[in-house]
């Protein structure tokens, strides 16, 4: 399956915020995930051109400012340009304060209105989010994470997620802090909340395929266990019936027991059902005959 993160982001890019308050919440969330403020300058770093375009449009729409391209460095690991935009004009400090970039309050402010909270959640995923789903033939599971350059924003975001009934945990990765959720239900809930209907359908398909694969594995394991039990029983019976023959007990047996023992010796790999079919008797009938033979074998062993 294609990169699931791209599937989700494609849907979120197609539905940008429309209301002024929601635009500000989204802009603030993007700064929380991709921005910084240092020496009177706000910087925004991204490797995604579409995300950069949305950020620059929000900056002009919300604060009527233009960010300038400061640096474009090629990242050989990701094979794409890492773009850095900055704004050091008049009011940069005020913008940093109003968006919560200075004190980590972006998500606290966004949570005051439901529409703004949703816009901030979408923007946080666009700016620092990624997710993975189970892949056939691998050990991957469900994983949703958001990466933040500052721990305070990650901690505030963890609290912020609770209003959507999403339970995140935090951990460190180098200098960054991650908020992560590890379950198919949480990933489904997230896609449902942000309105990623296409991704939600794909998750349902993945869950159905996984269930079918698990059921198939259970059937195979059950068959393997039954095959093992059949093989063990066959070896035990062969040993017992041959010893009965060697001890001269075999000739004195009733004809039905002789036929049962002979059938097992001649077809050691077949199941009880297959042997019963050869003899034209029921499975329970043949099982009874084998049990009688085994009891006879044990009694001769005790006498020896």
User: What would the pLDDT profile of 270-300 be if each residue is shown by its tens digit?
Assistant: 888 888 888 888 888 888 888 888 888 887 7
Place 105 in a pLDDT band, splitting at 50, 70 and 90: very high
In a shared domain, residues 46 and 154: yes
Query: Of the candidates 142, 172, 195, which is a domain's last residue?
Result: 195
In a shared domain, residues 252 and 180: no
pTM, two decimal places: 0.69
pLDDT of 281 reads 87
Q: Give domain status of residue 214, yes or no.
A: no
Interval 247-276 mean pLDDT: 82
55 exposure class (CB count in 10 Å sphere: 0-12, 13-18, 19+): buried
Query: Of the candidates 195, 215, 250, which is a domain's last residue?
Result: 195
Using one digit for the tens of pLDDT, what is the confidence trace for 110-150? 999 999 999 999 999 999 999 988 876 666 788 999 999 99
Domain range for 293 is 227-303
Per residue, the 3-state secondary structure of 70-96, as one string, reads: EEEEEECCCCEEEEEEEECCCCHHHHH
Q: Give domain status of residue 240, yes or no.
A: yes
pLDDT of 138 reads 61
In a shared domain, residues 233 and 296: yes
The number of folded domains in the chain is 2
Q: How far apart are the first and last CA of the chain?
A: 67
pLDDT of 14 reads 93
Place 8 in a pLDDT band, splitting at 50, 70 and 90: very high
pLDDT of 227 reads 46
In a shared domain, residues 167 and 258: no
**Contact predicate 144/131, CB 8 Å:** yes
Interval 173-181 mean pLDDT: 95
In a shared domain, residues 42 and 181: yes
Q: Which of 199, 211, 243 is nearest to 4 (CA)?
A: 199
Place 195 in a pLDDT band, splitting at 50, 70 and 90: very high
| Distance (Å, whole) CA 290 – CA 288 | 5
| Distance (Å, whole) CA 241 – CA 246 | 9
Q: Look at residue 256 and tell me whether its pLDDT is greater than 60.
A: yes
Question: Facing residues of 257 across strands?
Answer: none
Q: Which of 27, 20, 6 is nearest to 120 (CA)?
A: 27
Mean pLDDT (the chain, rounded): 86
Interval 6-35 mean pLDDT: 96
Which CATH number characterizes residue 171's domain?
3.10.28.10
pLDDT of 36 reads 96
Using one digit for the tens of pLDDT, what is the confidence trace for 215-245? 555 544 544 444 445 555 667 787 877 777 7
**Contact predicate 278/224, CB 8 Å:** no
Pairing outcome for strands 169-173 and 41-46 = unpaired
Using one digit for the tens of pLDDT, what is the confidence trace for 63-90? 999 999 998 887 777 667 889 999 998 8
Using one digit for the tens of pLDDT, what is the confidence trace for 21-45? 999 999 999 999 999 999 999 999 9
Q: Look at residue 261 and tell me whether its pLDDT is greater than 60.
A: yes
In a shared domain, residues 179 and 232: no
């Amino acid at each position: 399956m294609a990169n699931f993160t791209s599937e989700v982001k494609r849907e979120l890019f197609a539905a940008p915020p429309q209301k002024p308050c929601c635009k500000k919440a989204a802009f603030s969330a993007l700064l929380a995930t991709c921005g910084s403020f240092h020496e009177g300058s706000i910087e925004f770093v991204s490797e995604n051109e579409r995300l950069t375009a949305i950020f620059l449009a929000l900056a002009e729409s919300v604060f009527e400012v233009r960010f300038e391209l400061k640096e474009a460095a090629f990242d050989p690991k990701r094979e794409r340009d890492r773009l850095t935009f900055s704004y050091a004009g008049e009011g940069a400090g005020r913008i940093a304060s109003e968006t919560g970039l200075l004190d980590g309050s972006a998500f606290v402010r966004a949570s005051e209105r439901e529409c703004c909270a949703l816009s901030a959640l979408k923007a946080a995923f666009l700016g620092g989010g990624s997710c993975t789903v189970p892949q056939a033939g691998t050990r991957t599971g469900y994983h949703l994470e958001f990466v933040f350059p500052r721990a305070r924003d990650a901690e505030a975001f963890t609290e912020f997620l609770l209003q959507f009934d999403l339970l995140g945990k935090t951990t460190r990765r180098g200098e960054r802090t991650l908020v992560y959720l590890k379950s198919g239900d949480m990933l489904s809930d997230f896609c449902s909340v942000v309105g990623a209907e296409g991704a939600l359908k794909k998750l349902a398909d993945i869950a159905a395929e996984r269930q079918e694969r698990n059921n198939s594995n259970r059937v195979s394991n059950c068959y393997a266990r039954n095959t093992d039990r059949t093989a063990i029983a066959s070896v035990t019976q062969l040993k017992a019936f041959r010893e009965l023959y060697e001890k001269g007990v075999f000739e004195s047996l009733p004809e039905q027991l002789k036929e049962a023992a002979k059938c097992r010796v001649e077809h050691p790999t077949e199941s009880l059902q297959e042997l019963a079919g050869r003899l034209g008797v029921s499975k329970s009938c043949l099982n009874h005959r084998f049990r009688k033979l085994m009891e006879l074998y044990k009694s001769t062993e005790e006498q020896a």
